Amino acid sequence: MRVLVTYGSKRGGTEGIARQVAEVLRGEGLDAEVRPPKEVEDVAAYDAVIVGGALYANRWYRLARRFVHRHAGVLREKPVWFFSSGPLDSSAVEGEIAPTHQVQALMEQVGARGHMTFGGRLEANAKGFIARAMAREHTGDWRDSGHIRRWAGSVAAELKARQEGRPIPVEPPPEARLH
């Protein structure tokens, strides 16, 4: 099963999450490829798609948004998952953070099967006026690989069940997944 993992990442943090997600999928025997949105030639060639977006002022970074708008017709026909990144604190591992209003609308547009918010990363030397101001208060790498791996594992389990024609596994409640 060919899975596309694509991302809209301004400063590389979300790209790193996309790479970890794909690594987990490959470990589960799925043929996962990571591609920046602009390098995706044919979405129809994939059996499933995962799209990640960096959150800026509660909205996905534009490359992720544009990818969804541009390919909405094809995405609606496939199993699709979204992830967002992210809060610069431990909130994403303390409880499941719902998609923002805009991300929820994108999910509805393509009938996405699920969403997860992961912690983000902001480096102290971030470029840009607002980012620098923000970095005075919040810096660090809040991406939690356990969190990322658990979620990617649950997506892989569902994809493998589909592939083998088995019933789709039921997700445990968030508390069970986090501890």
Nearest to 5 by CA among 19, 14, 16, 137: 19
Q: Is the CB of 78 or the CB of 142 nearer to ligand FMN?
A: 142
Nearest to 27 by CA among 148, 113, 118: 148
Least distance CB 101 / ligand FMN (angstroms)? 11
**Other CB atoms within 10 A of residue 25 CB:** 25
Where in 128-147 is the site for ligand FMN (CB under 6 A)? 130-131, 134
Residue from 37, 86, 147, 152 in contact with ligand FMN (CB under 6 A): 86
**Taking CB under 6 A as the rule, does residue 58 contact ligand FMN?**
yes
**Taking CB under 6 A as the rule, does residue 170 contact ligand FMN?**
no
Nearest to 107 by CA among 96, 119, 116, 118: 116
Least distance CB 123 / ligand FMN (angstroms)? 9
**Taking CB under 6 A as the rule, does residue 65 contact ligand FMN?**
no
Structure tokens at 10: 């301004």
Per-residue three-class SS string for 48-68: EEEEEEEEECCEECHHHHHHH
Where in 87-126 is the site for ligand FMN (CB under 6 A)? 87-88, 120-122
* Interface with ligand FMN (CB under 6 A): 9-14, 54-58, 61, 85-88, 120-122, 130-131, 134
